[in-house]
Amino acid sequence: NAGVTQTPKFQVLKTGQSMTLQCAQDMNHNSMYWYRQDPGMGLRLIYYSASEGTTDKGEVPNGYNVSRLNKREFSLRLESAAPSQTSVYFCASRIQQNTIYFGEGSWLTVV
Amino acid sequence: GESVGLHLPTLSVQEGDNSIINCAYSNSASDYFIWYKQESGKGPQFIIDIRSNMDKRQGQRVTVLLNKTVKHLSLQIAATQPGDSAVYFCAENPRGGADGLTFGKGTHLIIQP
């Protein structure tokens, strides 16, 4: 059972480039999330999808878009990367009102 | 603003001692709380959770205490081991819905030999 899988693990982008972070879960969870984590800070919610076909903004959505492709997959897109988006990104999933399970993270550097 | 916070950014304990990590929350409507452990270079890992209708829950070497009167959550780790060295986050579910958890900034637990 892989749980939550996200790719790529590491990525370096130039300012203005675009990229998509991929996430898939095999736990049949309804809800999926994208968080970012910056040094000395906790996790901040970017976007979430409460169920297949729906997406909503979290605390820090600016500069990002998401797609809930199906129940398993939830992708995060940076259309025009900025240095402020240098961070570690975590995908997560849950069954409502229960524990959120996280992937292993994607380290993104924008130069 | 931050609705979940930690009292100490770093906690240093002797190996074999008990560790207590504290957390304050501000949203009295929160009904679900979780402690996560995050090791360097890894994603947060679930440790233990508690719902608001409980005040104590025990796991293997860990205990979570919830004091709703003062909006305080704590994680107790018994007989701390080197493998317990990590950053610990508390998280709350503010509205009991599917819109994610709110996290504190974390406490770095350092184990002294």
Q: Using one digit for the tens of pLDDT, what is the confidence trace for B79-109?
A: 999 999 999 999 998 765 667 788 888 899 9
Those residues whose C-beta lies under 8 Å from the C-beta of residue B108, and which sit 6 or more positions away, are: B9, B10, B11, B86, B87
Please determine, for residue B17, whether its predicted confidence score (pLDDT) is greater than 80: yes
* Inter-chain residue contact A42 with B101, CB threshold 8 Å: no
Nearest to A74 by CA among A63, A85, A87, A64: A64
Phi–psi pair at B84, nearest 5 degrees? -85, -10
Residue A71 exposed, middle or buried by CB count within 10 Å (0-12, 13-18, 19+): middle
- Exposure class string for A19-41: b at 16+ Cβ within 10 A, else e: bebebbbeeebebbbbbbbeeee
Determine the pLDDT at residue B98: 63
CA dist A40 and B63 (Å) reads: 25
The residue of chain A nearest to residue B90, with distances taken between CA atoms, is A42
Using an 8 Å Cβ cutoff, are A96 and A9 in contact? no
Angstroms from B36 CA to nearest CA on chain A: 10
Determine the pLDDT at residue B69: 93
The residue of chain A nearest to residue B44, with distances taken between CA atoms, is A102
SS3 A109: strand
Nearest to B10 by CA among B18, B2, B1, B21: B21
Phi–psi pair at A85, nearest 5 degrees? -95, 5
* Inter-chain residue contact B100 with A99, CB threshold 8 Å: no
* Inter-chain residue contact B97 with A96, CB threshold 8 Å: yes
Region B35-57 average pLDDT = 95
The residue of chain B nearest to residue A107, with distances taken between CA atoms, is B41
Angstroms from B52 CA to nearest CA on chain A: 12
| pLDDT range class, residue B66, cuts 50, 70, 90 | very high
